[in-house]
């Protein structure tokens, strides 16, 4: 191993025992290296083996059912990590190698203050008093950009925003100045502005602490900005490896080409997004040519009109005080038939609250929602019942929105029974089977349970459930944000096909501005409950007028400050 290489992964093969006979090989002889003071990006879809590779380096794979090949090596600073005892590895991890996990809320202990958790990490590896460790923790919180660190150190995780929780995780990871920092999807669930801040912070810390970063992600635009080298993984195998500029500008493997092509870009809007299989099966030349036109004309019929909608929540402050928090402030817009309005803004801007209020999952404190000439907000529950069928929502989390005790058949049949759609269960079953086929699933899915499907497949089932109602308006609440780029492309293509076929209208809520540009005819920008801008998508992305919109667009990876 040369002196300029910090970590050398050699022929890493990891197999999981799933039962008495069954085995699953997650990594099939993977080899790559991380040079000193560099950023190496591991990219690929879910299930490609990226996180398994990181867990193996940290010694976090479950020993009870994991087999690592005898000829595998993890050489870190001249020492094979696989040969170290559990105690030696525990001392090294946190001190010389550290890791930031994907979901900060599940990684931070909810019953301990954040300061206590950082102090514990410092005292575990350094001979330091608790008072000195607390002082160091305040310095670290300040270094990672937490405001008022001397106050925030005594906060519990739930009292911090998602971006601040991730910063606490970073502070904990760098507290012992590690030589290698493993960042496992550290920005996936964050808004584009917070993502930019976190990435800039990591790059700054890399310089000041002289550490290497192994950055695991499926966001290729982000990788293009920050990585020195890229390792592309698929099904436990490395498909391509090299300098970032070479891999992005001249990809050699069809899988790498597919990953780069699947992602919607700001400068084009193909009629159909390519998916991974198009490239793996050599069909990329058969994709429809041309661009999809977007925008709304003054003559387009309006299906939904929102006037001055207002929604507030009441929060307790002490025993006797209450405070009104306004989540949506006087929002007004129109949704044309067969068109899509994208709703963008940071977390807490009121996007989801607006969507839920429109279909009366929240009550409102003022304003009108006109649908078919009727104000939905003024109807009684009985009067509103027929409209529930015509206005549907796809929720953000495909794991939480499907009942785990129901088969997929039950999930699809239940709404049809409630709304008396079709005359018999036989007809409903036939309709459900046809819808499963329509969203790209086999008819056999009808008899399975949600846990037997991936996140992308569950989101398709959620879409099929909405389609059982034959809705006229569908609200998509971050419905593709948790999906890999290839699955995301499949779902976006499906939504577009359904809109073309049935003339449905969408409200598309997302913090992914590239996806919103691809699918939206008009875009509504929200900030702290207020609508700050509303325009045709091409116009808004080309020349944003409000400073907040300009800030959002400038934070898109690869766009810079243009």
Q: For residue range 370-381, what is the model confidence (pLDDT) as tens digits?
A: 998 899 999 999
Residue 396 has pLDDT above 80, yes or no: no
CA distance 171 to 139: 9
CA distance 144 to 167: 6
Query: Domains in the chain and their CATH numbers?
Result: 338-365+374-554 (3.40.50.300)
Quote the pLDDT of residue 524.
96
Residue 284 has pLDDT above 90, yes or no: no
Confidence of residue 562 (pLDDT cuts 50, 70, 90): very low
Confidence of residue 180 (pLDDT cuts 50, 70, 90): very high
Quote the pLDDT of residue 561.
40
- 3-state SS of 366-397 is EEEEEECCEEHHHCCHHHHHHHHCCEEEECCC
Query: Would you call 413 exposed, middle or buried from its count of C-beta atoms within 10 A (0-12, 13-18, 19+)?
Result: buried
Contacts of 191 (CB under 8 A, 6+ apart): 163, 346, 347, 511
Tokens of 379: 């109807």
The model's pLDDT over 318-353, given as tens digits with 9 standing for 90+, comes to: 677 887 888 899 999 999 999 999 999 887 788 989
Which residue, 200, 247, 254, is CA-closest to 226? 200
Mean pLDDT of 90-96: 87
């Amino acid at each position: 191993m040369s002196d300029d290489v910090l970590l050398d992964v050699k022929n890493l093969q990891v197999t999981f025992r799933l039962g008495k006979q069954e085995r699953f090989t997650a990594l099939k002889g993977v080899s790559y290296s991380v040079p000193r003071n560099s950023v190496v990006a591991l990219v690929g879809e879910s299930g490609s083996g990226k996180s398994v590779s990181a867990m193996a380096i940290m010694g976090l794979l479950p020993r009870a059912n994991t087999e690592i090949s005898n000829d595998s090596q993890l050489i870190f600073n001249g020492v094979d990590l696989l040969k170290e005892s559990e105690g030696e590895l525990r001392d090294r991890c946190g001190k010389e190698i550290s890791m930031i996990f994907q979901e900060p809320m599940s990684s931070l202990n909810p019953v301990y203050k954040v300061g206590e958790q950082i102090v514990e990490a410092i005292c575990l590896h350094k001979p330091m008093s608790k008072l000195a460790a607390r002082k160091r923790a305040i310095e670290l919180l300040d270094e990672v950009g937490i405001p008022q660190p001397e106050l925030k150190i005594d906060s519990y995780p739930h009292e911090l925003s998602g971006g601040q929780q991730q910063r606490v995780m970073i502070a904990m990871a760098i507290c012992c100045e590690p030589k290698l920092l493993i960042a496992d999807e550290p920005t996936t669930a964050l808004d584009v502005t917070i993502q930019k801040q976190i990435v800039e912070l990591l790059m700054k810390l890399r310089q000041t602490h002289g550490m290497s970063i192994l950055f695991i992600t499926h966001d290729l635009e982000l990788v293009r900005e920050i990585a020195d080298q890229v390792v592309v993984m698929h099904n436990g195998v490395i498909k391509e490896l090299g300098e970032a500029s070479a891999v992005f500008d001249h990809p050699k493997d069809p899988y790498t080409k597919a990953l780069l092509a699947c992602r919607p870009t700001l400068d084009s809007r193909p009629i159909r997004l390519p998916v991974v299989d198009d490239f793996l099966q050599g069909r990329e030349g058969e994709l429809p040519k041309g661009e999809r036109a977007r925008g709304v004309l003054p003559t387009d019929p309006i299906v939904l009109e929102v006037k001055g909608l207002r929604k507030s929540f009441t929060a307790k402050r002490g025993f006797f005080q209450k405070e009104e928090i306004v989540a949506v402030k006087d929002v007004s817009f129109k949704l044309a038939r067969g068109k899509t309005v994208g709703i963008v803004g940071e977390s807490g801007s009121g996007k989801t609250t607006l969507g839920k209020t429109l279909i009366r999952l929240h009550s409102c404190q003022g304003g009108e929602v006109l649908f078919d000439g009727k104000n939905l907000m003024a109807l009684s529950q009985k009067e509103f019942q027929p409209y529930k069928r015509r206005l549907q929502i796809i929720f953000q989390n495909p794991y939480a929105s499907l009942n785990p005790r129901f088969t997929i058949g039950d999930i699809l049949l239940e709404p049809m029974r409630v709304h008396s759609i079709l005359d018999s269960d036989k007809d409903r079953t036939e309709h459900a089977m046809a819808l499963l086929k329509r969203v790209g699933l086999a008819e056999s899915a009808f008899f399975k349970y949600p846990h037997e499907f991936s996140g992308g497949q569950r989101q398709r089932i959620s879409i099929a459930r909405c389609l059982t109602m034959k809705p006229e308006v569908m609200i998509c609440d971050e419905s593709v944000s948790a999906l890999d780029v290839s699955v995301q492309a499949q779902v976006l293509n499906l939504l577009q096909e359904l809109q073309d076929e049935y003339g449905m209208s969408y409200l598309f809520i997302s913090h992914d501005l590239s996806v919103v540009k691809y699918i939206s005819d008009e875009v509504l920008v929200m900030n702290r409950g207020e609508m700050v801008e509303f325009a045709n998508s091409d116009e808004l992305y080309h020349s944003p007028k409000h400073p907040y919109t300009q800030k959002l667009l400038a934070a898109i990876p690869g766009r810079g400050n243009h």
